Structure 1
């Protein structure tokens, strides 16, 4: 059985990895004023757009994910021909309509695929499953890497599906933003009142950075730490503890809203990298998606892994 994998471009994994493993990307288009860029995970294009537009006017950006019709056309024109079963793994539906768009498109795809496959000389059935990763950005990468690993190991679709749906429940994404004023402005532009003016003002005045945690589609602050670099160092140290306690998959994903060399110079990074190597954990590093940066601001850091049980983040 030929198994295909699809992610949206908010999934923070290196483009080289996605291309090497033939993972299809659903691009999200970003518009800031007259400037428009479809995000295909091209890190250089993302950084150029970041420096030119996001810093000044990113909070006003409009993000446009693939529509139901566009997803349907992608599958009918290509994926139902190239594969027998496709897993489409999306950003959490609590923060984006992509899951709902893919789910709606799936009904039409399953009704219409036979003609396309027959024309390609393949009369066998086609199936697909839309998976809500229940997380964001680098944390979406945990499911995608595991799907690649299982597919390449020859596992069948039922086992992959069960694994991905269980993994979504235990994937943890942690983010530290640099600019709370930006985060508040962006949240307000989308009608999200979760970052209040008072907390943003106090946080910026005192240089207090929240550590935001996402699991099962729910996001909230688990710590508030003075200074971006001290907050990052504590998050890296916390991740090392979780590695030593045991992860569900041998994977840690990092994404950063800027040049990766800046992230690698942050305190605690060398220790995290060494802990991953010593415990046979694969460390993925990528520039944050353009969608991610316009939503949380430049310079934000995301760390993600999958682990059972809840561990308290210690300030």
Structure 2
């Protein structure tokens, strides 16, 4: 029987313990800081010091996340994956946010062609198969899609069934929300990348009146959908929104994913999280709280909060 593994890039905000439980492997991102390069491999214990080093007070974009090149993805797959299984499904960050998907697609043929001898030497027959899937999501949204794909595979579903489910249902149902805290960081990051998610006018308004945008992402597209008086109020509204989805039975999958570019204990201490946690327990919903990946946090700043769920007909954000 063909063995299949699931890989997710380091932008996937899934708790490390859950990744290990589901057998999900990580494809690294590269972080460039000045003339130094470090690998983002979702090393959770190291994240607090990485936040302090690369995010806090860094308005000049000292660091940036860079996807691996085609040859580097090939090298990673040949070194770590092709001799341990017969097929891999790589679920990537939204192609609208990163070139990783394009680079991974370019690495498919080379990986398969170069795998034959390595696999033969390892006692495996046939070519290795690599399928690359654009999740259309980032961070906690990507984590939910990866979770469902891994659960399906572990329950005995075929690789093709997993691919079809991701591409025809899960990608459309993934809704992700973000509340930034460091507005100046996010404004200068957006300007640096040629985006208008936060304009100069929005930054001035937000900094003057302590207003934070609530940003919604769906199928790779982002837009501000609401404003909150401070990041704490934004987080409270998002968690109340998730609680509403749970209580109304709207979730396509019994899980809500949350990530924070800071200590997760700060989120657990919030009354809104504790209320959400009680509702989740009552309705058999899993809460996936994870530290935000450095790759994602570098684009949104320290203390940014992300939340995601899978829902085909979500209620409006109140």
TM-score range, shorter chain: over 0.9
| Aligned pairs (5 A) from 1:195-206 | 195-206=198-209
Aligned to 2:42: 41
> 1:53 deviation in Å?
3.2
Give aligned pairs, total: 314
Partner of 2:305: 301
Residue 101 of structure 2 corresponds to 99
The aligned residue for residue 159 of structure 1 is: 161
Q: CA deviation at 1:271?
A: 0.9
User: What residue in structure 2 maps to residue 259 of structure 1?
Assistant: 263
Any idea what SS the aligned residue of 2:222 has? strand
Which ranges of structure 1 fall in alignment gaps of 5 or more residues?
none
Q: Distance in 2 between matches of 1:53 and 1:79?
A: 30
Contact persistence 1:181–1:201 (CA under 8 A): no
1:224 lines up with 2:232 in the alignment: no
Q: Deviations 1:49-106 (Å, cap 9, x if unpaired)?
A: 2113321226332222211111111222332221122110110000101111111101
Listed as ranges, the matches of 1:1-315 within 5 Å are: 1-34=2-35, 36-57=37-58, 59-165=61-167, 166-245=169-248, 246-314=250-318
Q: Is the 8 A contact 1:212 1:223 kept in 2?
A: yes
For residues 185 and 112 of structure 1, the distance between their equivalents in structure 2, rounded to whole angstroms, comes to 42
Structure 1 runs (4+) deviating above 4 angstroms are none
Moved more, 3-12 or 53-62: 53-62
- TM-score, normalising length: structure 2: 0.94
Q: In 2, are the aligned partners of 1:32 and 1:57 still within 8 Å (CA)?
A: no
CA deviation after TM superposition for structure 1 residue 309, in Å: 2.1
Q: Kindly indicate whether the alpha-carbon contact (under 8 Å) linking 1:30 and 1:36 is maintained by their aligned counterparts in 2.
A: yes
Looking at structure 1, the residues matched to 36 and 269 of structure 2 have their Cα atoms a distance apart, in angstroms, of 31
Do the aligned partners of 1:60 and 1:189 also contact (CA within 8 Å) in 2? no
* Shift of residue 35, structure 1, vs aligned partner: 5.2
1:310 is displaced (CA, Å) by 4.2
Residue 80 of structure 1 aligns to a residue whose secondary structure is coil
Q: Quick one: distance in 2 between partners of 1:277 and 1:302?
A: 21
